[in-house]
Structure 1
Amino acid sequence: MKAMIVREFGAPEVFELAEIPTPEAKPGEVLVRIEATSVNTVDMMIRQLGPELPLSPPAPAVLGMDFAGTIVALGEGVTTFAIGDEVYGCAGGLADLQGALAEYMPADARLIAHKPSNLSMREAAALPLVGITAYEGLLRTGISAGQRVLVHGGSGGVGHVAVQLARHFGADVYATGGGEKQLALIEKLGAKSINYKTETVADYVAKHTGGAGFDVVFDSVGGANLTHSFEAAALNGQIASTVAMVELDLSVAHFKGLSLHVVFMLIPMLHNHGRAAHGQILTEIAKIVEAGNLMPVLDEQRFTLTEAGKAHARLSSGQGMGKVVIDI
């Protein structure tokens, strides 16, 4: 089969087209003919850092975590899927798991679900990693109808899904963005937009909550921005962070009685721990999509398998809006 592989790690130009053996479905796996995959920040980190990142696969490697496609073979013991089923998931591209930048990919059947019937393959391929991350983070905060929820980075890959899911759960949703296009997308998705470049945390907390703070803060920006999340949260508030790799003074969190939930959705793939939860979440997300309450936003530029490097460059440029998708 054709695949884009990396023999060494570094710039987007490291991808090269190669012919490699078509894999077989091992027990508990399905073999998927890949129709589309999407690029996530973690894919770029693996491509760039390689062995410096503990979760990277050894070279030569096939990267790409998210995918949508059609099952062409079933491994021993798989009973929940059939040949011909259209599926989507996040099931490879790290450690010892082959990725989706190839014509075929083996996938643990626990990590995938039937594709939402009203989405194209391209749209479905944009959802798994960001969808699972947003869903898990919001559920861990105990989100409920009527709460005020703030999403940091509401136009980003994870953020734009978190905005829609929070609305699906009945919350009153606000989201930060830094430009006219970003703020317009946030409004289109049904949240109240906040320009973090022109409004301080104190300003928008006073404006939107009367100074009380937000019940839930979903922080898809992370790092130093976590201090803004602490500042924006209500007393006994809940914070979910997807980017918590930072040294931080927790004093504010202590005096406000905050709960911090760190979401690292790659754990099931990396450690073969709780993988069935991902399949279950993707099944729930499919229902939400089919009910009309969630739609992934795709970048306007299109890429083919041999343009994987260009797709990575597009995401790293910061010029894209929505998920960058590669057609296989």
Structure 2
Amino acid sequence: MNTLRFVALCCLLAIVVESKRSWRTEDQFEIELISKNQTSIQARFRRLRKVGKYLVNIYVKYLADVGAAYTKQLKGKRDRHADGYYYIDTGNVLEPGTLYEMAVYQRRPHRSLKRIDVTTDCSVYTYSCMTSRRESCLEREQLCDGFDDCLDKSDEEWLNSTCAVTLPERPVPPPPPVDTPCMTALIASLGLTKDSDHGVTDPERPTCDENGHYAPVKCDAATCHCIHPLNGKILKTRSDFNPFVDHDFTGICMKKYNRILARANKRKNKDSAPQAHLPETLPPLLGAESPELAPL
């Protein structure tokens, strides 16, 4: 009995020590935001003592299960700059005016080191102001509509009977092509085909992207799949989401999506390229009257 009490006391002490260690790590570790714009974020952090491998995830706040918009693994001296910092540069993969959460983890053992919130800049087609203690982007329809969306009420200012804030019109994207397999299946599922007398009963309508291909990710109540962009078949399945194991499911699907389309375009260009045809018989050598070689 005394042995069991001793083991339980040791386990409790280990839990308390580890908790204090995690709190101390959160206080010591800092993520420094360098710059941001409408579609990208640049940040950096210093190496933490006795931590050699890091995992960086950036995802839409409160939507971590949807998948990371950006992920990167950093390791040792290979990724550390001469100034002692690890640098994060998302490139132009983020959405304007969106609240993101940047999380840095220790990979082994898995534990969270730091999380910060970053809001990307608003696009030129929206109005930026402070609402509910954070920056928000307002559409044209929200300006001078009789409701104070901004804390300073700047979105409701009038000048000579017109709204003081003017925004350019957002361009309308071109419609996707209708001759792709996904769009053909979508039109058929809606019962809009000219050669059919009636629509499909309880159709499973596909999701097409702006290029007319099958969307790279398809999710149901409990499972997400990677989808082939040309035929809509399932490529890979995940039954759950884990921030350490499944941290970039959307990114994995996008890599497969781009790889398949690149192979298809390469094959299409190869088939459409003109072929060089060799003559059936070679001309005789100069200075020789017969196909045999001329004497030296």
* TM-score w.r.t. length of structure 2: 0.23
Higher helix share: 1
Specify the structure having the higher radius of gyration (Cα).
2
* TM-score w.r.t. length of structure 1: 0.21
